[in-house]
Amino acid sequence: MTRILVSEVGPRDGLQSIKAVMPTEAKKAWIAAEAAAGVREIEVGSFVPPSLLPQMADTAEIVAFARGIAGLNVVALVPNARGAARAVEAGVHGISIPFSMSETHSQRNVRKDHPAMLAEIAEVARIAREGGVHFAVGLSTAFGCTIEGAVPEDQVVRLAVAAAEAGAQEFSLSDTTGYADPAQVRRLVRKVKAAVGADKLTTLHLHNTRGLGLANALAGLEEGITTLDSSLGGLGGCPYAPGASGNLVTEDLVLMLNSMGLETGIDLEKLLAVRSILAEALPDEPLYGFTPDAGPMLDYAERIAR
Protein backbone atom coordinates (compact mmCIF):
# COMPACT_ATOMS: atom_id res chain seq x y z
CA MET A 1 0.00 0.00 0.00
CA THR A 2 1.37 3.42 -0.95
CA ARG A 3 1.94 5.62 2.07
CA ILE A 4 0.89 9.24 1.62
CA LEU A 5 1.85 11.99 4.04
CA VAL A 6 -0.92 14.48 4.73
CA SER A 7 0.81 17.56 6.10
CA GLU A 8 -1.55 19.76 8.09
CA VAL A 9 -0.84 23.43 7.46
CA GLY A 10 -3.89 24.95 9.11
CA PRO A 11 -2.09 26.27 12.20
CA ARG A 12 0.15 28.26 9.84
CA ASP A 13 -1.51 28.88 6.47
CA GLY A 14 -5.02 28.80 7.91
CA LEU A 15 -4.47 31.04 10.91
CA GLN A 16 -2.24 33.56 9.12
CA SER A 17 -4.99 34.41 6.70
CA ILE A 18 -7.70 35.28 9.17
CA LYS A 19 -8.06 38.30 11.42
CA ALA A 20 -8.87 36.46 14.61
CA VAL A 21 -6.00 35.34 16.83
CA MET A 22 -6.43 31.78 18.05
CA PRO A 23 -5.56 31.42 21.73
CA THR A 24 -2.36 29.48 22.34
CA GLU A 25 -4.16 26.79 24.34
CA ALA A 26 -6.60 26.20 21.48
CA LYS A 27 -3.70 25.81 19.05
CA LYS A 28 -2.14 23.23 21.34
CA ALA A 29 -5.43 21.36 21.65
CA TRP A 30 -5.83 21.41 17.85
CA ILE A 31 -2.33 20.10 17.19
CA ALA A 32 -2.57 17.43 19.88
CA ALA A 33 -5.95 16.23 18.62
CA GLU A 34 -4.79 16.01 14.99
CA ALA A 35 -1.68 14.11 16.01
CA ALA A 36 -3.89 11.77 18.03
CA ALA A 37 -6.00 11.24 14.89
CA GLY A 38 -2.85 10.03 13.13
CA VAL A 39 -1.57 13.17 11.40
CA ARG A 40 2.22 12.76 11.25
CA GLU A 41 3.32 16.23 10.15
CA ILE A 42 2.01 19.65 11.11
CA GLU A 43 3.22 23.07 10.04
CA VAL A 44 2.60 24.61 13.43
CA GLY A 45 3.30 28.26 12.66
CA SER A 46 5.64 30.73 11.05
CA PHE A 47 8.52 32.77 12.37
CA VAL A 48 7.51 36.16 11.05
CA PRO A 49 7.71 39.36 13.09
CA PRO A 50 4.76 39.37 15.55
CA SER A 51 4.08 42.96 14.58
CA LEU A 52 3.21 41.75 11.06
CA LEU A 53 1.27 38.64 12.05
CA PRO A 54 0.12 38.67 15.67
CA GLN A 55 -1.55 35.29 14.97
CA MET A 56 1.95 33.76 14.92
CA ALA A 57 3.44 35.50 17.97
CA ASP A 58 3.36 32.28 20.03
CA THR A 59 5.00 30.03 17.42
CA ALA A 60 8.08 29.25 19.56
CA GLU A 61 5.84 28.10 22.42
CA ILE A 62 3.74 26.04 19.99
CA VAL A 63 6.86 24.40 18.55
CA ALA A 64 8.05 23.44 22.04
CA PHE A 65 4.64 21.93 22.79
CA ALA A 66 4.43 20.06 19.47
CA ARG A 67 7.93 18.65 19.91
CA GLY A 68 6.60 16.87 22.98
CA ILE A 69 4.20 14.80 20.84
CA ALA A 70 5.82 11.48 19.94
CA GLY A 71 6.05 10.70 16.24
CA LEU A 72 5.01 14.15 15.05
CA ASN A 73 7.14 15.98 12.50
CA VAL A 74 7.09 19.63 13.53
CA VAL A 75 7.67 22.11 10.73
CA ALA A 76 7.46 25.87 10.49
CA LEU A 77 7.50 28.47 7.78
CA VAL A 78 10.21 31.12 7.75
CA PRO A 79 10.23 34.20 5.53
CA ASN A 80 13.97 34.83 5.86
CA ALA A 81 17.24 34.01 7.64
CA ARG A 82 16.21 35.75 10.83
CA GLY A 83 13.09 33.61 11.00
CA ALA A 84 15.16 30.52 10.25
CA ALA A 85 17.46 31.24 13.19
CA ARG A 86 14.43 31.64 15.49
CA ALA A 87 12.92 28.40 14.15
CA VAL A 88 16.12 26.43 14.74
CA GLU A 89 16.37 27.88 18.24
CA ALA A 90 12.77 26.88 18.94
CA GLY A 91 13.59 23.30 18.01
CA VAL A 92 11.66 22.57 14.82
CA HIS A 93 12.35 19.42 12.81
CA GLY A 94 12.09 21.27 9.55
CA ILE A 95 11.64 24.69 8.00
CA SER A 96 10.34 25.87 4.67
CA ILE A 97 10.67 29.21 2.96
CA PRO A 98 8.25 30.41 0.31
CA PHE A 99 9.98 31.45 -2.90
CA SER A 100 7.56 33.17 -5.20
CA MET A 101 7.98 32.22 -8.83
CA SER A 102 6.28 35.47 -9.79
CA GLU A 103 8.81 38.21 -9.17
CA THR A 104 6.09 40.83 -8.80
CA HIS A 105 4.39 38.70 -6.13
CA SER A 106 7.75 38.23 -4.40
CA GLN A 107 8.42 41.96 -4.36
CA ARG A 108 4.96 42.78 -3.03
CA ASN A 109 4.99 39.94 -0.51
CA VAL A 110 8.49 40.10 0.97
CA ARG A 111 10.04 43.08 -0.88
CA LYS A 112 12.69 40.92 -2.51
CA ASP A 113 13.37 40.21 -6.17
CA HIS A 114 14.55 36.78 -7.30
CA PRO A 115 18.32 37.33 -6.82
CA ALA A 116 17.69 38.68 -3.32
CA MET A 117 15.51 35.64 -2.52
CA LEU A 118 18.18 33.25 -3.77
CA ALA A 119 20.72 34.96 -1.50
CA GLU A 120 18.29 34.60 1.39
CA ILE A 121 17.72 30.92 0.55
CA ALA A 122 21.50 30.33 0.64
CA GLU A 123 21.66 31.92 4.08
CA VAL A 124 18.66 29.95 5.35
CA ALA A 125 20.23 26.76 3.98
CA ARG A 126 23.38 27.48 5.96
CA ILE A 127 21.40 28.07 9.17
CA ALA A 128 19.37 24.90 8.61
CA ARG A 129 22.49 22.83 7.93
CA GLU A 130 24.26 24.12 11.01
CA GLY A 131 21.12 23.66 13.09
CA GLY A 132 20.56 20.15 11.75
CA VAL A 133 17.02 20.82 10.55
CA HIS A 134 15.42 19.81 7.28
CA PHE A 135 15.06 22.61 4.75
CA ALA A 136 12.49 22.85 1.98
CA VAL A 137 11.72 25.58 -0.49
CA GLY A 138 8.10 26.19 -1.40
CA LEU A 139 7.90 27.25 -5.04
CA SER A 140 4.92 29.54 -4.54
CA THR A 141 2.68 31.02 -7.25
CA ALA A 142 4.12 28.19 -9.38
CA PHE A 143 0.87 27.74 -11.29
CA GLY A 144 0.09 31.39 -11.87
CA CYS A 145 -0.08 34.72 -10.13
CA THR A 146 -2.99 37.02 -9.39
CA ILE A 147 -0.85 40.00 -10.40
CA GLU A 148 1.25 38.71 -13.31
CA GLY A 149 -1.11 36.03 -14.60
CA ALA A 150 0.73 33.14 -16.22
CA VAL A 151 4.11 32.19 -14.74
CA PRO A 152 6.22 30.48 -17.44
CA GLU A 153 6.98 26.86 -16.59
CA ASP A 154 10.56 27.30 -17.74
CA GLN A 155 10.94 30.09 -15.19
CA VAL A 156 9.75 27.77 -12.39
CA VAL A 157 12.23 25.12 -13.51
CA ARG A 158 15.09 27.63 -13.73
CA LEU A 159 14.38 29.08 -10.27
CA ALA A 160 14.03 25.61 -8.73
CA VAL A 161 17.45 24.68 -10.07
CA ALA A 162 18.90 27.94 -8.74
CA ALA A 163 17.36 27.27 -5.33
CA ALA A 164 18.81 23.76 -5.32
CA GLU A 165 22.22 25.24 -6.05
CA ALA A 166 21.64 27.65 -3.17
CA GLY A 167 21.14 24.68 -0.83
CA ALA A 168 17.46 23.70 -0.87
CA GLN A 169 17.15 20.05 0.22
CA GLU A 170 13.64 19.60 -1.06
CA PHE A 171 10.84 21.42 -2.85
CA SER A 172 7.12 21.78 -2.86
CA LEU A 173 5.10 23.17 -5.72
CA SER A 174 2.61 25.64 -4.28
CA ASP A 175 -0.59 26.70 -5.95
CA THR A 176 -0.78 29.82 -3.79
CA THR A 177 -3.45 31.35 -5.98
CA GLY A 178 -5.66 28.37 -6.78
CA TYR A 179 -4.72 28.57 -10.47
CA ALA A 180 -3.59 25.00 -11.12
CA ASP A 181 -5.39 22.59 -13.39
CA PRO A 182 -4.66 18.85 -13.44
CA ALA A 183 -2.87 18.88 -16.81
CA GLN A 184 -0.62 21.70 -15.61
CA VAL A 185 0.11 19.84 -12.37
CA ARG A 186 1.27 16.81 -14.34
CA ARG A 187 3.44 18.91 -16.66
CA LEU A 188 5.08 21.01 -13.98
CA VAL A 189 5.71 18.13 -11.56
CA ARG A 190 7.41 16.24 -14.39
CA LYS A 191 9.53 19.20 -15.46
CA VAL A 192 10.67 20.14 -11.96
CA LYS A 193 11.39 16.52 -11.02
CA ALA A 194 13.46 16.18 -14.18
CA ALA A 195 15.41 19.33 -13.34
CA VAL A 196 16.13 18.92 -9.62
CA GLY A 197 15.78 15.14 -9.15
CA ALA A 198 12.60 13.14 -8.60
CA ASP A 199 13.37 12.59 -4.91
CA LYS A 200 13.59 16.34 -4.29
CA LEU A 201 10.01 17.12 -5.32
CA THR A 202 7.60 15.12 -3.19
CA THR A 203 5.10 17.75 -2.05
CA LEU A 204 2.18 19.70 -3.46
CA HIS A 205 0.61 22.60 -1.64
CA LEU A 206 -2.76 23.13 -3.29
CA HIS A 207 -5.62 25.52 -2.80
CA ASN A 208 -9.22 24.83 -3.65
CA THR A 209 -10.07 28.33 -4.85
CA ARG A 210 -11.76 27.10 -8.02
CA GLY A 211 -12.85 23.68 -6.72
CA LEU A 212 -10.06 21.83 -8.54
CA GLY A 213 -7.99 21.05 -5.44
CA LEU A 214 -8.63 17.31 -5.15
CA ALA A 215 -8.45 16.77 -8.90
CA ASN A 216 -5.06 18.48 -8.84
CA ALA A 217 -4.01 16.32 -5.90
CA LEU A 218 -4.98 13.21 -7.87
CA ALA A 219 -2.92 14.38 -10.84
CA GLY A 220 0.02 14.90 -8.49
CA LEU A 221 -0.34 11.44 -6.94
CA GLU A 222 -0.23 9.97 -10.41
CA GLU A 223 3.07 11.78 -10.98
CA GLY A 224 4.61 10.34 -7.84
CA ILE A 225 3.80 13.07 -5.32
CA THR A 226 3.67 11.54 -1.82
CA THR A 227 3.04 14.56 0.43
CA LEU A 228 -0.01 16.78 0.25
CA ASP A 229 -0.53 19.90 2.32
CA SER A 230 -4.03 20.64 3.55
CA SER A 231 -5.86 22.57 6.19
CA LEU A 232 -8.55 21.36 8.56
CA GLY A 233 -11.85 22.92 7.55
CA GLY A 234 -10.11 24.41 4.53
CA LEU A 235 -9.05 27.30 6.75
CA GLY A 236 -6.74 29.80 5.18
CA GLY A 237 -5.03 30.90 2.04
CA CYS A 238 -2.66 33.61 0.99
CA PRO A 239 -3.42 37.03 2.45
CA TYR A 240 -1.48 38.65 -0.38
CA ALA A 241 -3.41 36.94 -3.17
CA PRO A 242 -6.94 38.36 -3.20
CA GLY A 243 -9.66 35.75 -3.56
CA ALA A 244 -7.10 32.98 -3.17
CA SER A 245 -8.33 31.67 0.16
CA GLY A 246 -8.99 28.02 0.78
CA ASN A 247 -6.45 25.30 1.24
CA LEU A 248 -7.33 21.73 0.38
CA VAL A 249 -9.73 20.52 3.07
CA THR A 250 -7.91 17.92 5.18
CA GLU A 251 -11.12 15.99 5.89
CA ASP A 252 -12.03 15.60 2.19
CA LEU A 253 -8.45 14.81 1.23
CA VAL A 254 -8.19 12.07 3.87
CA LEU A 255 -11.54 10.61 2.81
CA MET A 256 -10.33 10.47 -0.79
CA LEU A 257 -6.92 8.98 -0.02
CA ASN A 258 -8.18 6.44 2.50
CA SER A 259 -11.06 5.37 0.23
CA MET A 260 -8.63 4.88 -2.63
CA GLY A 261 -6.68 2.42 -0.51
CA LEU A 262 -3.74 4.76 0.02
CA GLU A 263 -2.33 4.68 3.53
CA THR A 264 -2.42 7.96 5.44
CA GLY A 265 -2.51 6.52 8.94
CA ILE A 266 -5.27 9.02 9.74
CA ASP A 267 -8.51 8.02 11.47
CA LEU A 268 -11.21 10.00 9.65
CA GLU A 269 -13.72 9.88 12.49
CA LYS A 270 -11.19 11.27 14.97
CA LEU A 271 -10.13 13.89 12.43
CA LEU A 272 -13.70 15.07 11.93
CA ALA A 273 -14.06 15.48 15.70
CA VAL A 274 -11.14 17.95 15.72
CA ARG A 275 -13.30 20.50 13.90
CA SER A 276 -15.12 21.26 17.14
CA ILE A 277 -11.90 22.77 18.52
CA LEU A 278 -11.74 25.17 15.58
CA ALA A 279 -15.45 25.95 15.72
CA GLU A 280 -15.17 26.82 19.41
CA ALA A 281 -11.96 28.85 19.19
CA LEU A 282 -12.88 30.65 15.96
CA PRO A 283 -16.67 31.00 16.11
CA ASP A 284 -16.76 33.61 13.33
CA GLU A 285 -14.67 31.70 10.79
CA PRO A 286 -16.41 29.56 8.17
CA LEU A 287 -15.24 25.96 8.05
CA TYR A 288 -15.34 24.22 4.71
CA GLY A 289 -15.51 20.62 3.55
CA PHE A 290 -18.08 18.23 2.12
CA THR A 291 -17.24 15.14 4.15
CA PRO A 292 -18.09 16.80 7.48
CA ASP A 293 -21.65 17.39 6.20
CA ALA A 294 -22.17 14.14 4.31
CA GLY A 295 -20.20 11.83 6.57
CA PRO A 296 -18.19 8.90 5.23
CA MET A 297 -19.84 6.42 2.86
CA LEU A 298 -21.81 3.60 4.51
CA ASP A 299 -19.16 1.14 3.29
CA TYR A 300 -16.20 3.32 4.30
CA ALA A 301 -14.81 0.73 6.73
CA GLU A 302 -14.84 -1.92 3.99
CA ARG A 303 -13.14 0.45 1.55
CA ILE A 304 -10.23 1.25 3.81
CA ALA A 305 -9.80 -2.39 4.85
CA ARG A 306 -9.43 -3.44 1.23
C-beta of residue 31 within 8 angstroms of C-beta of residue 42:
yes
Which positions from 222 to 241 touch its own copies by CB under 8 A, shown as an x/- string? x-------------------
Work out which of 255, 277, 278, 281 binds its own copies, going by CB under 8 A.
255
Residues 6+ apart with CB under 8 A from 135: 94, 95, 96, 97, 124, 125, 128, 129, 167, 168, 169, 170
The continuous run of DSSP H or E covering 100 comes out as strand 94-100
Work out which of 73, 141, 208, 264 binds its own copies, going by CB under 8 A.
208
Cα separation, 180 vs 215, in Å, equals: 10
CA distances from 255 to 155, 163, 269 (A): 35, 34, 10
Work out which of 198, 273, 279, 297 binds its own copies, going by CB under 8 A.
297
Is 145 noted as a catalytic residue in this protein?
no
Beta bridge partners of 201: 171
Neighbours of 111 (CB within 10 A): 8
**Residue 249 contacts its own copies per CB under 8 A:** yes
**Residue 287 contacts its own copies per CB under 8 A:** no
Specify burial of residue 224 (Cβ count, 10 A radius: 0-12, 13-18, 19+): middle
**Residue 209 contacts its own copies per CB under 8 A:** yes
CA dihedral of residues 97, 125, 73, 194 (deg, nearest 10): 80
Smaller CB separation from its own copies, 36 or 260: 260
| Least Cβ distance, residue 209 to its own copies (angstroms) | 5
Q: Point out which span in 9-17, 57-65, 104-112, 253-261 binds its own copies (CB under 8 A).
A: 253-261
Which positions from 169 to 198 touch its own copies by CB under 8 A, shown as an x/- string? --------xxx-xxxx--------------
Q: What is the footprint of its own copies within residues 74-113 (CB under 8 A)?
A: none
Q: What is the footprint of its own copies within residues 114-173 (CB under 8 A)?
A: 144-146, 148-150
Cα separation, 176 vs 239, in Å, equals: 10
Catalytic residues: 238
**Which residues contact its own copies (rule: CB under 8 A)?**
144-146, 148-150, 177-179, 181-184, 208-212, 214-215, 217-219, 222, 243, 246, 249, 252, 255-256, 259-261, 289-291, 293-299, 302-303
